[in-house]
Amino acid sequence: MRYFVAVAEELHFGRAAQRLTIAQPPLSRAIQQLERRLGVVLLHRTTRAITLTEAGSVLLREARLALDAVEAAERRTRRAAPDQPGMVLATKAGASRELLSRLLDAYAASPSAVDVEVVLCGPGESEALLRNGSADVALLQRPHDTTAGLDTEDLRTENQVLVLPEGHALADRPHVSMAEVDALPLPLPRWPRRDGTYPDGPGPKVRDLIQLTQLITLGRACALVPESLRAQLDGDHAIVAVADAPAVTTVIAWPAHSRSKAVAELVRTALEL
Amino acid sequence: MRYFVAVAEELHFGRAAQRLTIAQPPLSRAIQQLERRLGVVLLHRTTRAITLTEAGSVLLREARLALDAVEAAERRTRRAAPDQPGMVLATKAGASRELLSRLLDAYAASPSAVDVEVVLCGPGESEALLRNGSADVALLQRPHDTTAGLDTEDLRTENQVLVLPEGHALADRPHVSMAEVDALPLPLPRWPRRDGTYPDGPGPKVRDLIQLTQLITLGRACALVPESLRAQLDGDHAIVAVADAPAVTTVIAWPAHSRSKAVAELVRTALEL
DNA sequence: CGCATTGATACTGCACGGGTATAAGACGTG
DNA sequence: CACGTCTTATACCCGTGCAGTATCAATGCG
């Protein structure tokens, strides 16, 4: 399945083999065997290009889930070793900062509290860490993160605001609409995907908040961020409410079958904030 | 992981090896290798008994999920083959009969409807079929089935009623309490578990509704069932409302990451009933 | 009409999973 | 207390199967 996912993602046997650090012929054979075993054609291949069949797309999605589940099983088992490593919480760097610190303070006051290791990660990454067992619990933000298959509790819903360079034409408006934002000559920045690549399109590439604020200050970008992020922006920007931007809900999420007492206690604490 | 699950369930290398149709020594070594690879002790073994460590219990749960995911990946891929087999719906035999038939009728009227194969199964089994990819969608009943990790929509909530032999002392009461039910000399029947074994305790073993109704008629058992099941009981019983029995919610459930148009359409139909 | 690119095939070697035989440790029993 | 039984671990061997190298076949491009 690892092999198939590599081929399906690369759409190229040679590159996939390289990624898997094996030679190309065994990879071809492995995929053939998989197709024979399943009795299904997964790939349409010509000597020049590869495309996924319907069944291939299904397997790509399902295999990713299955591989995640296997990885998660190993990681969670390692973490359950007697040399107690506490609990790992993943969250997007910068997001929900005061919410997180209030949560950690409140949880630490609980008599049964264990050590909480906080892992700060890039956009979308915290969800992956939770799914593959690297984290026990995470703060996610809908709709950015997808919570299907996870258990969640909503913590807070907030509106998004537009961050502009100081003195921008729109800076004095009480509020703007999404249509106006889309029409701006200032591009929204591009964030890296989980694999480190960037989506195509205009807009500068950014990796963290520092880069973002700097770009905005320089007048090279604007940004749509949750209201609570204002506290972490330095003063050189203008903030304008966006009336019809989708609201962002911060949720606390954990694997659906978690039996951890510590996670349950942390969630309980979060709901009481 | 299959090996570990077998050992953890049997708590006995010999029996586990038999179940896996391999010899015992390779099984011992496989578990040792797994423990070395994970760097975690999974089992405390003496020459007389085996017990799971904390990490072992975690792996047992996680490995089951992972194996289910792998199995599901294979099954769903096979089902996505071009020779379209339609959609498979799983439900507990006997439960929600008129709800199901209304649903199927309404769905069949939809212009984009595909064939629906209905799989009737024992208690708890439909949930398993859904999780391991044998079914695309299922009607489940909370709290009997656990829906963690599945996407669901509630269809109907109903109270449970007590079914008694005709002429029983409680038969004329307008309603009874759970405490009275528990205190009855008549035992509740035992249903088989997923693996076909029965839980310990009093009460006759039953496999289906026919057996159940017959036992009740014979005065050997009583039963707590959702209200809607009355329609399927023949006339020789008394029915009494149970004031404080937990309500049963029938839900339509599907795998959290399903992308099937047919399933989405069926769910939409169900919500409009 | 070559040439480059890419997936498939042929063949070889070796590592790993599985089998049998047996040891070692623990408990019950005469 | 020794012996038999039960259960897991070790020693050793063997065959399958996966990965590697070399090469072929087919397709697109200049």
Mean pLDDT of B63-87: 90
b vs e for B127-164, b when ≥16 Cβ sit within 10 Å of the residue's Cβ? bbbbbbbbbbbbbbbbebbebebbbbeebbeeebbbbb
CATH of the domain at A188: 3.40.190
**Where among A22, A52, A78 does a domain terminate?**
A78
Q: Which domain holds residue B147?
A: 84-156+248-272
CATH of the domain at A143: 3.40.190.10
Whether B178 and B236 map to the same domain: the answer is yes
Whether A89 and A74 map to the same domain: the answer is no
Say yes or no for a CB contact (<8 Å) between B78 and A1.
Answer: no
- Chain A CB within 8 Å of residue B65 CB: yes
Whether B8 and B127 map to the same domain: the answer is no
pLDDT digits (tens, 9 = 90+) for B77-128: 999 888 767 899 999 887 788 899 999 999 999 999 999 999 998 888 899 9
B25 touches strand C (CB under 7 A): yes
- Residue nearest C24 (alpha carbon to C1'): B47
CATH of the domain at B18: 1.10.10.10
Question: Which residues bind near strand D, taking a CB cut-off of 7 Å?
Answer: A 21-23, 25-26, 30, 33, 46-48; B 12-14, 24-25, 28-29, 31-32, 45, 47-48, 50
Whether A109 and A36 map to the same domain: the answer is no
Highest mean pLDDT among A81-95, B147-161, B201-215: B147-161
Nearest alpha-carbon partner for B10 in B124, B20, B193: B20
Whether B143 and B165 map to the same domain: the answer is no
Taking 90 as the threshold, does the pLDDT of residue B129 lie above it?
yes
Whether A138 and A267 map to the same domain: the answer is yes
* B252 vs B156: CA distance, rounded Å: 10
Whether A27 and A130 map to the same domain: the answer is no
Choose the closest CB to B148 out of A54, A65, A256.
A256
Please check whether residue A54 is in contact with residue B82, taking contact to mean a CB–CB distance below 8 angstroms. Answer: yes
pLDDT digits (tens, 9 = 90+) for B20-55: 999 999 999 999 999 999 999 999 988 778 999 999
B48 touches strand C (CB under 7 A): yes
Residue–nucleotide distance: A24 CA to C2 C1' (Å): 26
pLDDT digits (tens, 9 = 90+) for B172-216: 888 899 998 888 888 888 888 877 788 888 888 888 888 888 888
**What integer pLDDT is reported at residue B76 of this predicted model?**
94
Q: Give chain A's domain count.
A: 3
Within 8 A of B31 by CB-CB distance, chain A residues are: none
The model's confidence at residue A5, banded by pLDDT at 50, 70 and 90, is very high
The set of residues, in sequence order, having a beta carbon less than 8 Å from that of B273 and lying 6+ positions away, is: B99, B102, B103, B106, B155
Whether A259 and A129 map to the same domain: the answer is yes
Whether B88 and B147 map to the same domain: the answer is yes
